[in-house]
Structure 1
């Protein structure tokens, strides 16, 4: 008989954190699961650790492949799931979960019948747990059987690992993770919010998202890596392309909402790191962000605040020295205001 829950855990050069991750899965109060670990061509002892768990606990099994990246590893894990499992979740192998995470989410889904449940997250540091700023707005309060139309902040719920999907919904959606790029979560997570009939949003933290502090930074911590910027823009473009390809009129509304979120929240995240990058990073920012702005339509910036309008105008004009001067001034003013508030 198939277990009720399938977990997919990609493994790549995380031997320092892997035991803690797998221990937190083994300790779940919801024990009716399978955990498919995918060795994505690791060069450290992570696969040996994973194999030991597979030998000790029949709920764990290990699949091996050559290195293809996180998106490909998740897709491989999905292809190797036991047929007939009811629910599906993804876990990154340097993170952990509180013991009640899956019992809470699956219990909620059993009660509501929603297509998937998404929960709050905490940042995991050596000093302890702190709230995740990225999850603050959409998970401020628990809302069952809701939808992104009713809770627009859900468009910012981009991560793959804070969710439990009803597997019939995930499989029918036909969305696999993009391969060969970073920031592969959003082109799956955001469309799922638009496709779902109902979603359960849980304010209680169900995931511990690690901040690496040993010099081996995670993807999201490499703020001035040009590839990260290129792939994050590409991630937004993939969501837009998916929305543009949907013929139903409601998806035109979803596209407008998503574009506004890109202009107000996602693209401005680059603003803070551009002054810290080198000339190559500036050029990459200008080229790729300008392409995205043209696709959205520069006129969409007309109803934004003056600060955003100025920065987008300077970006499109390739006036990067002026852009950086404006951004440095804005950063200085913001820090001064934060200092005053703390005082």
Structure 2
């Protein structure tokens, strides 16, 4: 009999973190799962760790391939799932989960019948755990059987690993992870939000997202890497291409909403790195962000607040020296003395002892009446 849940774990050179990740999966209070570990051509001891885990726990099995990247490894895991599993989840191999994560997600989906459940995430480092900034707004409160059209901030819920999918929905959507680029999550997660009949939004943290403090840093920590910027813009363009290709009239409005979020929240994240980046990074920013801006309805840019509008105008005009000067001035403004002490305190840490309990299925909220 097939397990109810399949968990895909792509693995590449994470011997420092892998055992902790797999231990957290094995310790789940929901035990009816298989874990498909995909070694993506690791050159360190990761494959040996995975083999040892498969040998001691029959729920874990290892698939190996030559190095093709994270998107390809996730797709390989999906292709190697057991027949008949009901639910699907992804975990990055340097991260962990609290013990009750899958029990909460699966029980919620059993209750609602939604296409997938998505939950809150905490970042963690040696000093402790703290709220993931990117997940704080869409997961502020639990809402069952909802949709991105009811909670527009769900368009920022782009990570692959804070979700449990109904496998029939994932398979029928026919959207696999793009291969050969970084930031491959959004071209799958965002379309899924639009395609879903309903999703369950869970405010409890169901995922622990590591901040790497030793060895090679993660993709999201490389703020001035030109490739990261280029691939992030490409990720946005893949989402736009998917929305543009949909024939349904509602998707034209979805595209406008997505573009608005791109202009107001996504692209401004690059602004802070431009003054610190080298010439290659600034050239990549100007070239690739300008290409994206030219594809977006110019009326959307004209409707922005003046500071954003001016920065985009400077980008399009290739007036990068002025852009950098303006961004540095903005940075000085943000560092006013009355804000300095607040920022110096850093993120509010959460004790690990508070994370060991099985979260209760408090997801009893219903979306507001139409």
Residue 203 in structure 1 maps to residue 195 in structure 2? no
Partner of 1:338: 339
Q: Measure, in 2, the Cα distance between the counterparts of 1:21 and 1:278.
A: 35
Q: Measure, in 1, the Cα distance between the counterparts of 2:340 and 2:128.
A: 25
Partner of 2:261: 261
Residue 275 of structure 2 aligns to a residue whose secondary structure is helix
Q: Measure, in 2, the Cα distance between the counterparts of 1:37 and 1:342.
A: 39
Partner of 1:243: 243
Partner of 2:35: 35
- Higher RCO, 1 or 2 (CA under 8 Å, sep at least 6)? 2
Partner of 1:103: 103
Q: Measure, in 2, the Cα distance between the counterparts of 1:231 and 1:318.
A: 20
Residue 53 of structure 1 aligns to a residue whose secondary structure is helix
Q: How does 1:118-129 map to 2 (within 5 A)?
A: 118-129=118-129
More helix by share: 1
Q: Measure, in 2, the Cα distance between the counterparts of 1:215 and 1:266.
A: 28
For structure 2, which runs of at least 5 residues remain unmatched after alignment?
345-370
Deviation at 1:299, TM superposition (A): 2.7
Partner of 1:316: 316
Residue 304 in structure 1 maps to residue 304 in structure 2? yes
TM-score (norm 1): 0.99
Deviation at 1:215, TM superposition (A): 3.8
Partner of 1:221: 221
Partner of 2:94: 94
Q: Measure, in 2, the Cα distance between the counterparts of 1:229 and 1:189.
A: 19
Q: Measure, in 1, the Cα distance between the counterparts of 2:335 and 2:158.
A: 28
Q: Measure, in 1, the Cα distance between the counterparts of 2:11 and 2:144.
A: 33
Partner of 1:160: 160
Deviation at 1:340, TM superposition (A): 6.7
Residue 3 of structure 1 aligns to a residue whose secondary structure is coil
TM-score (norm 2): 0.92
For structure 1, which runs of at least 5 residues remain unmatched after alignment?
none
Q: How does 1:37-186 map to 2 (within 5 A)?
A: 37-186=37-186
CA RMSD between the two structures:
1.0
Deviation at 1:341, TM superposition (A): 5.7
Residue 188 in structure 1 maps to residue 159 in structure 2? no
- In the alignment of these two chains, the number of paired residues is 343
Q: Measure, in 1, the Cα distance between the counterparts of 2:284 and 2:62.
A: 39
